[in-house]
Amino acid sequence: MKLKHENMRKQAQKGFFAATDLADYLVEKGVPFREAHGMVGKLVKHCLKENKSFEDLALKDY
């Protein structure tokens, strides 16, 4: 197996590794898991479409 370190770094910088944490946070706040998963999935799709990471979004985007 050959690791592509530059690709790994770029993917980590996109911020989507935090998607699970965000869904877990919503569940802790009372959002049903399925709904939280769907919300975070839509947020990731939005970020991909706009070429942004979670860190690039304004609070209103959440």
Domain count, the chain: 1
Q: Is the pTM of this model over 0.75?
A: no
CATH of the domain at 19: 1.10.40.30
Q: Is 30 helix (H, G, I), strand (E, B) or coil?
A: coil
- Is residue 47 within 8 Å of 54, Cβ to Cβ? yes
At residue 15, the pLDDT reads: 66
* pLDDT averaged per 10 residues in sequence order, the chain, 62 residues: 85 79 96 98 93 86 78
At residue 16, the pLDDT reads: 85
Residue 25 structural domain: 5-61
